[in-house]
Structure 1
Amino acid sequence: MSGIQAPPGFREMRLVLLQHGGMASLTGKTGLAMLRHRAGPIVAVIDPDHAGQSLPQITGIDRVVPVVADLAAALPYKPEAAVVGLAPSGGQLPDPVRHDALAALRAGLHLASGLHTRLAEDPELAAACWPDHWIWDLRREPETLKVGQARAAALPCRRLLAVGTDMAVGKMSACLALLEAAQRTGIPARFVGTGQAGILISGEGVALDAVRVDYAAGAVEAAVLRAAAALPEQGLVLVEGQGSLCHPASTATLPLLRGVQPTALLLVHRAGQTTIDRLPQIPLPPLAELVATMETLASWAQPDGAHPPVKVAAVALNTARLDEDQARREVEGVHQMLQLPCTDPIRWGADPLLKALLKD
């Protein structure tokens, strides 16, 4: 198997999100991304801190889903599977989430998780899982691995890789917004998830942080080849970025560049951010320098004559912390600075980014 595949029927299942304490914080980014982008039904969200409140008021996400206190309160909405929507530090299952995960299994629900902790290997959880039901731990290394060989460079389709100035700036959301824009305009496109949220939303991909470093580029390469196989020559593969070259804890960008062999890059940045968000002692480089560095790195480790030099085609600017007027000023400022198309694809749509990407 060249990547992670969801259990049969998962894309259409009625889900309940285990979102305890994560409705208004970055620890809940997996579930929040699913609420924003998952096409299949989400019938309830469990968060005792916000039970009974309006999802749009809490999160700004325009989706009507009841927020309840526990699994018992979610069962009347007839969920078929529970999904851990948190990404807590260290990847451990918090006790309140474990309680509702166990209740979900005992009630006959399936369970999906992208945590580093393997829930299927927990004796109590495994014993509670009904026969013919599953616990899907998606954060696993693919079964068949090869080292990277730049094979994606020979693909005729376009390949976009999102690269960020920091972690959690919106790389996945920007790619999914581009996917939606492509689908509206009839452009054949596939999304390759490389983290837990992206895989849970799309049902497939490669959990890059579960792959041994020697095989990381090869695992990405295999996932891109798999996605491209379902596309015509004029198709588009959109690859979710991970981490950042600017972050001292991140090693993800290089294997992504090597595995994807991108034909274009999308720079993703949070408006006004000048340091690593959780390490303010580490400054971000000027955006123009980062663009030049990314383009240089993308040009290395390619076969001769693979394609024209790789460029940053556009900038996706995360303006979630700004009001409308501030956001528009920031977008215009980045556009003037870099002379690249720039917008917030979540706030105003990804059509300008897609147009820039498809420009020859």
Structure 2
Amino acid sequence: MQLQHPYLLFLGDAADDLAAKTAAGVAQWRPEWCVGQLRLPGCNTSLDLPDMTLEEAREAGARTLVVGVANRGGVISEAWQQTFLDAIALGYDVAAGLHQRLVDIPALRAAADREGRLLADVRHPRDRFGVGTGEPRTGRRLLAVGTDCSVGKMYTTLALEAEMKRRGLKADFRATGQTGIFIAGSGISVDAVIADFISGAVETLCPANDDDHWDIIEGQGSLFHPSFAGVSLGLLHGAQAESLVLCHEPERLHMRGLPNQALPGLQECMDLNLACARLTVPQPRFVGIALNTKRLSPEQAERVLKETEDRFGLPTVDPVRTGVAPIVDRLA
């Protein structure tokens, strides 16, 4: 799925900052693609972008209205639909990553068909994928894996891509979730792929490439999360990544959404990921650890980063506080 940019970010009637985290991520990582934001009455959040009407943003070059807000259940609110219809009439594509699909709303589908516009439901892949083969392919690949969900895998891989490009290396971020797809402009939301085809979809996402080209692949879930381990395993096998980065939040006490499920130890997590990765990669290795230390003071974060690096002998960073340069140094 390929999205056209620039974007106008739709914040709708978001109740708070968290409800608009998708839009915030796009604005942070692809500011050059974002001409403005569109807010409806009752919106309680804002980005560092100008408020624009559909007409103003279209005049400024916007090509896709990106639904950067989520509500409970991931449904498309009736209060949003007139804005989407008006956008289609003005020549916009509309893109969303919600559980409910844009194309399942008859009025939107009819308007898009009439105007020849794209309704991009990025959480729901349109393509058909084959099963994975595990056959060796050229190019270099790095995958972020985690002790749990939502520990910084997307942020880490985006930071690695940015640092590598700053150094003139050939690198592309490969998105595997809806927010990442908005940021990259393309990708496959692997959690919506039929289980038998997850590894094949990832092989399609990062196919054979030049020997000096890096695909930096966004991770999903954790091999230790009872709810999502299947997605993580299919992604690991399809990525065939020679290099892995472990992502972890030190202060987290249990698996997200599962208060009775403890997080694995870092060594335990690395050992299982390496053992599983060897099915499709002869000699995978960890090249770094990325810690999300947002809950720690600067002094605590510095101590935890150093202790972890000393313990494992791997570059250990917080992509927000310290950047990821030490990990890229190891890749060179």
**TM-score, with structure 2 as normaliser:** 0.88
Is the 8 Å Cα contact of residues 13 and 44 (structure 2) preserved in structure 1?
Answer: no
Aligned to 1:319: 293
Q: Would the alpha carbon gap of residues 45 and 247 (structure 1) be closer, same or farther in structure 2, given more than 3 Å must change?
A: farther
How many angstroms apart in 2 are the aligned matches of 1:246 and 1:100?
A: 41
Q: Could you tell me how far 1:177 is from its partner in structure 2?
A: 0.7
Q: Could you tell me how far 1:108 is from its partner in structure 2?
A: 4.3
2:153 aligned with 1:171, yes or no?
yes
Is the 8 Å Cα contact of residues 177 and 189 (structure 2) preserved in structure 1?
Answer: yes
SS at match of 2:9: strand
2:2 aligned with 1:13, yes or no?
no
Q: How does 1:101-112 map to 2 (within 5 A)?
A: 101-112=84-95
2:24 aligned with 1:32, yes or no?
yes
Q: Could you tell me how far 1:102 is from its partner in structure 2?
A: 3.9
Is the 8 Å Cα contact of residues 14 and 40 (structure 1) preserved in structure 2?
Answer: no
Aligned to 1:345: 319
Q: Percent identity?
A: 33
How many angstroms apart in 2 are the aligned matches of 1:337 and 1:273?
A: 19
Q: Could you tell me how far 1:126 is from its partner in structure 2?
A: 2.5
Q: Could you tell me how far 1:264 is from its partner in structure 2?
A: 1.2
Q: Quick one: which of 99, 114, 123 aligns to 2:106?
A: 123
Stretches of structure 2 lacking an aligned partner (at least 5 in a row): none
Aligned to 1:180: 162
Query: Residue type matched to 1:24 in 2?
Result: D
Stretches of structure 1 lacking an aligned partner (at least 5 in a row): 56-63
Is the 8 Å Cα contact of residues 20 and 46 (structure 1) preserved in structure 2?
Answer: no
Q: Could you tell me how far 1:21 is from its partner in structure 2?
A: 2.4
SS at match of 2:248: strand
Q: Could you tell me how far 1:179 is from its partner in structure 2?
A: 0.5
Is the 8 Å Cα contact of residues 9 and 68 (structure 2) preserved in structure 1?
Answer: no
Query: Residue type matched to 1:331 in 2?
Result: L
Query: Residue type matched to 2:68 in 1?
Result: G
**TM-score, with structure 1 as normaliser:** 0.81
Q: How many residues are treated as equivalent by the alignment?
A: 325
2:12 aligned with 1:50, yes or no?
no
SS at match of 2:206: helix
How many angstroms apart in 1 are the aligned matches of 2:324 and 2:303?
A: 18
How many angstroms apart in 2 are the aligned matches of 1:328 and 1:337?
A: 14
How many angstroms apart in 2 are the aligned matches of 1:40 and 1:171?
A: 23
How many angstroms apart in 1 are the aligned matches of 2:296 and 2:74?
A: 30
SS at match of 1:147: coil
How many angstroms apart in 2 are the aligned matches of 1:86 and 1:330?
A: 34
Q: Would the alpha carbon gap of residues 324 and 138 (structure 1) be closer, same or farther in structure 2, given more than 3 Å must change?
A: same
Deviation per CA, 1:176-211: give whole Å up to 9, x if none: 111111100011012211111111111222121221
How many angstroms apart in 2 are the aligned matches of 1:194 and 1:201?
A: 11
Q: Could you tell me how far 1:326 is from its partner in structure 2?
A: 2.9
How many angstroms apart in 1 are the aligned matches of 2:21 and 2:146?
A: 16
Aligned to 2:218: 240
Deviation per CA, 1:70-121: give whole Å up to 9, x if none: x75x654444421111344543223444454344335543211122322023
Q: Quick one: which of 258, 272, 276 aligns to 2:251?
A: 272
RMSD between superposed Cα atoms in Å: 2.4
Deviation per CA, 1:316-353: give whole Å up to 9, x if none: 11123334333222322322333321111133222112
Q: Could you tell me how far 1:170 is from its partner in structure 2?
A: 1.6
